[in-house]
Every structure is written in structure tokens, then in C-alpha cells.
């Protein structure tokens, strides 16, 4: 790869979302923003080799994309015989600081980077980017559309790449993206940060999208990569989610839940290499080789969590991160402070009311008060009829209570419900151990 190609690739990774966000914000047209952002990067490939890589690639690309957008809008207006409308749109662009800096320069030619270095504002770029994040994750959009659009818009993944990551046909993903963009237009969703009165609700919607994205990728680490269709790409979703969580945490430094989510995904992702054994069977936390856990990532997460908790505005992601931190801090599974874990699950149940959280709490309850009390807690949970971990947890608790025949039946029920190969192998191994 040439130096120029590497520079463009680096800029693509760091600047795609910012450039697209800038165009989307003033134009209100996400399709146009995607098209001209791609065109700006293609232009960079052609011209940076001739003119040199600019000192501020993001500024250069933003100016080029806006000029490309202006040209397209002018052509559209001429075709519709609406020259006046095109002039008004052009004035909006020409009045911006970035466009003013490059007014007399060819945005893809000599001198542009120098002209706009002073005008381009990183703060403005971040504000645009945050507006794009809120738009892509708007609660008026269906969750599957939010996740897909977030990947497409913020990372520059192609429709085909997003489709492979979620194991759906490309045509299906293309239609999903089209429907989501239409919904943005029809509901008038703006590419701007929400007003203070809506901020907490909207931040929660953003974090939910990122955690769904992370979970999709992290789940692929629970079985051998060869057993997962497009396994490497699916695993890479977790890396992408961590990168986006870092971005959102940086853009929202005063939101403790944004910091809590970043701490949570870092703590979970730090265990990725230990999730599956050499036999292809998923390993529980107790069974994992802790020497494979990535300590620098854990340390970074703990520091982030401390900062979030110091703000005294607890939320679900901070509490989940605190639970994960207790496991990460313990030198062995036997050293985990289960009393504190149980207390945190009590807080999490109060915050969420989630039946899955109640199921996880029952596991901690068994460590503190025994399997019988935990079984009673599990049997009081509703709404998890088709969730394979419900019978799997019951089976483990029954095994610990010495009720092996009942445990065997529950493991078999869990095997009927499970759909992931690594989990299936784990349950089959537990069942075989009981059947001996």
C-alpha cells in the first residue's frame, strides 16, 4: 500500500463519520451525504498523491464533500428549473466558515488544506458528529434499523458488509436501510443534538444501540470463529462497538452512563480470548483462564468506571460494569465477593425490572444463600419461556442441589432451545457429565 493510500485509509477510519455528519446536518439529506462523502474520499485518492496529504485531512474532506454536494444540488435544481432554490442552498454552504476558507480555491486542488486549517473547527465537527449519532439512534426508528444505520453512517461499512455481519442477504439489508432513511425524512428527525429536556432519554437510546451492536459481535466470540458464518466480520462488530462507545463517551463527557457503557464493554471484551476452550466449548467465568484476560483493557475500564460512579448518577450500564469489575478484580473465581455482586444485582433489578437480570441475580443468590433459594427465585421469573438460559440455569441449580434427574431434563430442554454452537456444546458437555 502506498503512503497516500494508507493516509486515505487512515482518514476513512477516523473522519468518515465527521464528514458525513457535516453534510447531513446542513443538507438534511443522508443519501446525499453518503454519496458526496464517498466522492470526497475518491477525490482524495486522486489528488493527495499530486498535492501531498493535507495537514488537516478532516477539514480537506469536509470542504470537498460540501462542494460536491453543492454541485449536485445545483444540477438538480437546474434540471427542475429551480435555479433560485439552488442559489439559496449554495448560500448556506458558502456562508459556512469552512466554505469561506476555501472560497477561491479548488477544493481538490492546490492550497485548500492550508486555507481551511484555520477555519475548520474540531468542536464543530464533533457537534455535527454527535447530531448524526442521535439521528441514527432515534427512538422513533426500529432497533434493527438504528443498528444498521449506525454502522453504515458512522463507520462507512458498505451495505454488503453490514449484511454479512448480521447474516442477512444484502438486498434485505439495503431495504432495511432505505426504510430507516425514509422514516428519518417522514418524521423530520434532525441531525442535531436534542434539547436538554429530551437529552437523557435520547442518550439512553444511543447507548442501547451501541450495546446491541457490541453484543452481536461479542456473542461471536463464544464459539470457534470457523463455526460462525462470516465469523471474523461478526467478531469485528465488537471492536467497532467499542470504538463507537469510546467516541460517544468522548462526545458526552458529562454523561456517566456513556462512561459506564464504555467501561462495561471494555471489561467484557477484555475476556474475549478466554471465552472458548481448545475443544470449541464455551467457558463460564469460573472456567476461564484469567491469564488470557487483557489487563490493560481492564485497567482502562476500571478507571472509566471510577470516574462515572464519582458523579453519583447511577444507571444500568454503570451497575453492570461494577458487577463485571468485581469479577475482573478477583484473582480467582472463588475470590469473587458474591455478597456485593448480589447487592448490585438487587440495584439493577430495581433499575430495569428485566427478567434476564432477575435470572442473573439468581446465579449470584445461589452463591450467597444456596441453590434452593435461588431455584425459588428462578421459578418466580416470568417472560423467559423460549430463552435457553432459563432451563440452563435451572439445570445447574438442580445439579448443585443434588437433584440430578431433574437437572438432566432441564439440560435437555435447554438444548432444544439453544441456537449457538458454542452454547450447545457447553450444555451437551454438562449433560454428559451428569449422565455418567
Instruction: Render the burial of 381-416: b for 16+ CB within 10 Å, e for the rest.
Output: beebeebbbbbbbbbbbbbebebeebbbebbebbbe
229 pLDDT above the threshold of 90? no
Alpha carbon distance 123, 81 (integer Å): 38
Q: Is residue 307 part of a domain?
A: no
**Under a CB-based contact definition with an 8 Å cutoff, are residues 40 and 61 in contact?**
yes
Question: Whole-model pTM?
Answer: 0.82
Q: Residue 98 pLDDT more than 80?
A: no
Q: What is the mean pLDDT of residues 252-273?
A: 96
Q: Packing angle between helix 122-136 and helix 3-27, nearest 10 degrees?
A: 70
Burial pattern 274-309, b for ≥16 Cβ within 10 A else e, equals bbbbeeebbbebeebeeeebeeebbebbbebbeebb
Decide if 27 is inside a domain: yes
Q: Mean pLDDT check: name the lowest of 15-19, 116-120, 333-337, 402-406.
A: 116-120
Residue 175 grid coordinates: 431495504
- Structure-model confidence comparison of residues 383 and 379, the more confident one: 379
361 within domain boundaries = no
- Say if 118 falls within a structural domain: no
3-state secondary structure of 120: coil
Q: Please indicate, yes or no, if residue 84 is contained in any of the structural domains.
A: yes
The range of the structural domain enclosing residue 8 comes to 1-88
* pLDDT band at residue 13 under the 50/70/90 scheme: confident
- The answer to the question of residue 401 being in a domain is no
| Axis-axis angle for helices 143-155, 30-51 (nearest 10) | 20
Domain count within the chain? 1
Q: Could you tell me the three cell numbers for 62?
A: 469536509
Lowest mean pLDDT among 76-90, 223-237, 269-283, 305-319: 76-90
* Separation between Cα atoms, residue 116 and residue 254, nearest integer Å: 30
Is residue 120, in this structure, part of any structural domain at all? no
Q: How far is residue 373's CA from residue 293's CA, in Å, rounded to a whole number?
A: 32
Which pLDDT does position 190 carry in this prediction? 92
Is 191 part of any domain? no
Judge whether 318 and 260 are in contact, CB under 8 Å.
Answer: yes
Could you tell me which residues come within 8 angstroms of residue 278 by beta carbon, excluding any fewer than 6 positions away?
Answer: none
Question: Which residues 6+ apart lie within 8 Å of 310 measured at CB?
Answer: none
Amino acid at each position: 500500500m502506498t503512503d497516500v493510500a494508507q493516509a486515505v485509509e487512515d482518514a476513512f477510519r477516523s473522519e468518515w463519520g465527521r464528514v458525513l455528519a457535516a453534510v447531513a446536518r446542513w443538507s438534511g439529506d443522508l443519501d446525499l451525504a453518503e454519496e458526496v462523502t464517498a466522492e470526497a474520499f475518491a477525490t482524495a485518492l486522486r489528488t493527495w498523491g499530486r498535492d501531498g496529504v493535507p495537514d488537516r485531512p478532516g477539514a480537506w474532506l469536509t470542504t470537498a464533500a460540501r462542494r460536491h454536494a453543492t454541485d449536485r444540488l445545483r444540477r438538480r435544481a437546474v434540471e427542475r428549473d429551480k435555479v433560485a432554490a439552488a442559489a439559496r442552498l449554495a448560500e448556506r454552504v458558502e456562508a459556512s466558515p469552512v466554505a469561506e476558507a476555501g472560497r477561491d480555491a479548488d477544493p481538490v486542488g492546490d492550497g485548500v488544506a492550508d486555507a481551511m486549517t484555520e477555519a475548520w473547527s474540531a468542536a464543530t465537527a464533533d457537534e455535527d458528529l454527535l447530531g448524526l449519532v442521535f439521528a441514527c439512534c432515534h427512538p422513533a426508528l426500529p432497533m434493527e434499523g438504528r443498528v444498521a444505520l449506525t454502522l453504515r453512517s458512522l463507520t462507512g461499512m458498505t451495505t454488503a458488509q453490514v449484511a454479512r455481519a448480521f447474516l442477512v442477504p444484502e438486498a434485505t439489508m439495503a431495504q432495511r436501510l432505505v426504510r430507516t432513511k425514509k422514516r428519518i425524512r417522514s418524521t423530520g428527525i434532525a441531525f442535531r443534538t436534542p434539547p436538554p429536556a429530551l437529552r437523557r432519554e435520547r442518550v439512553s437510546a444511543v447507548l442501547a444501540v451501541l450495546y446491541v451492536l457490541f453484543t452481536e459481535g461479542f456473542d461471536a466470540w463464544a464459539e470457534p470463529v470457523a463455526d460462525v458464518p462470516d465469523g471474523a466480520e461478526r467478531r469485528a462488530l465488537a471492536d467497532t462497538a467499542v470504538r463507537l462507545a469510546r467516541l460517544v463517551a468522548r462526545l458526552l463527557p458529562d454523561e456517566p452512563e456513556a462512561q459506564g457503557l464504555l467501561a462495561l464493554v471494555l471489561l467484557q471484551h477484555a475476556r474475549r480470548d478466554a471465552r472458548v476452550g481448545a475443544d470449541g466449548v464455551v467457558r463460564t467465568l469460573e472456567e476461564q483462564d484469567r491469564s488470557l484476560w487483557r489487563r490493560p483493557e481492564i485497567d482502562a475500564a476500571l478507571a472509566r468506571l471510577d470516574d462515572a460512579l464519582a458523579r453519583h448518577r447511577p444507571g444500568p450500564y454503570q451497575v453492570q460494569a461494577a458487577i463485571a469489575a468485581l469479577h475482573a478484580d478477583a484473582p480467582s473465581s472463588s475470590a469473587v465477593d458474591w455478597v456485593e455482586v448480589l447487592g448490585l444485582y438487587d440495584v439493577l433489578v430495581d433499575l430495569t425490572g428485566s427478567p434476564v437480570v432477575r435470572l442473573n441475580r439468581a446465579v449470584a443468590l445461589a452463591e450467597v444463600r444456596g441453590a434452593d433459594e435461588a431455584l425459588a427465585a428462578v421459578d418466580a421469573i416470568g417472560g423467559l419461556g423460549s430463552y435457553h438460559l432459563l432451563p440452563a440455569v435451572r439445570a445447574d441449580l438442580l445439579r448443585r442441589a443434588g437433584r440430578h434427574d431433574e437437572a438432566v431434563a432441564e439440560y435437555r430442554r435447554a438444548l432444544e432451545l439453544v441456537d449457538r454452537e458454542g452454547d450447545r456444546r457447553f450444555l451437551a458437555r454438562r449433560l454428559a457429565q451428569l449422565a455418567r
